Amino acid sequence: MTHAKLSPSRLVALLALAIAAPARAEQVVLAPRYQPGDAYLLSLDVETDTKPLSRRAGQRATGEDVQLRYRATVVVLEVDGEGRARRERHEQIQLRYERAEGSGTLFRDGAGYEVHRSADGDIRLFAGERAEQRVDREVEKIVADLLESQFEYTRLPALLDPGRPVEVGESWELDPKLARRLLGHRGLRVIEFGEPATARLERDSGADGVLVVRYGIPVSWIELERMPPDTRVADSEARLEGELRLSGDPRGRSHSQTLALRMNGVAVKSGVAPASAWGVETSRVIAQRTQVLGRTHVSGL
């Protein structure tokens, strides 16, 4: 079989058409819809690093660096009308912590419990053969704080949703009201944004070529929702940024995020002089990966 050669002029014309062809718009699915019986492996790492700054001494005070690493096989038991899990069984749980004082694990090998999520986001843990026994409240709070950072249960899917198909390389602005609520849920009050918060759809240049949503929320002035008594903020800034790596199945993806915050000010007590300066730098890094295991039979439903 012979192939006709392309003339130089014909080749140039074809290349011009290829370059001029419009890019294909992609439908970005951010929030997975679960069904009872869906199972996946969950890997969730959270590292918080806080460094108090002493302006008076000109030195950094002792800070705190805490790392939590959570692993579990998750089986969805019950969902709401939007496909979000309201009840799950977490099995083969591993929760390891690392800090300056030492490291260790929070659960024995093979531990398991049920996770109940209320409509307003509260998380409760139940153990026992019939999941009727509430888990120790201190342990429950540690786990709940971790699971609240799971991408699909945060405000991020609503914030990042472009509301339409977008092309690879296209950026879109994020709703500032939703961005304020997202940071407010973390105890931060946005006084003023820096540049507009944006997201961008890209395609990974690696072998898998997956779609990636990268986002950034710069804040030029921020305070705590509950500032300590007699304190004033003189200067502050923050930035929340991350990326969501998508796949053909929305239930399986990876998400990474960093929230970096710097705040300086003075503490003033009535009748006490002089005022003392204070400052703090903190960062919180989240890395999540979910791997779909398929479906399993759920009894008792």
Q: Is residue 194 part of a domain?
A: yes
Q: Is residue 256 part of a domain?
A: yes
**Region label for 122, one of left (φ > 0), alpha (ψ between -120 and 50) or beta (otherwise):** beta
Confirm if 140 and 113 have CB atoms less than 8 A apart.
no
Q: Is residue 225 part of a domain?
A: yes
Q: Is residue 226 part of a domain?
A: yes
Confirm if 65 and 85 have CB atoms less than 8 A apart.
no
Q: Is residue 66 part of a domain?
A: yes
pLDDT at 51: 87
User: What pLDDT tens digit does each residue of the chain (301 aa) get?
Assistant: 555 555 666 666 656 555 554 567 888 889 889 999 999 999 999 999 998 865 544 444 556 899 999 999 999 999 999 999 999 999 999 999 998 888 899 888 889 999 999 988 899 999 987 888 999 999 999 999 999 999 999 999 999 999 999 999 999 999 999 999 999 999 999 999 999 999 999 998 875 778 999 999 999 999 999 888 888 899 999 999 999 999 877 788 899 999 999 999 988 876 666 778 889 899 999 999 999 997 775 654 4
Q: Is residue 54 part of a domain?
A: yes
User: What's the CA gap between 294 and 251, in Å, rounded?
Assistant: 10
Q: Is residue 1 part of a domain?
A: no
pLDDT at 59: 46
User: What's the CA gap between 291 and 289, in Å, rounded?
Assistant: 7
Q: How many domains does the chain have?
A: 1
User: What's the CA gap between 253 and 76, in Å, rounded?
Assistant: 17
Residue of 189, 262, 198 lying closest to 223 (CA atoms): 189
pLDDT at 57: 43
Structure tokens, 285: 């890094």
Look up the domain containing 145 and give its range.
Answer: 28-295
Structure tokens, 88: 């799950």
pLDDT at 6: 58
Which value, in Å, is the radius of gyration of the alpha carbons in the chain?
Answer: 24
**Full-prediction pTM beyond 0.85?**
no
pLDDT at 294: 78
Q: Is residue 4 part of a domain?
A: no
Residue of 86, 85, 69 lying closest to 33 (CA atoms): 85
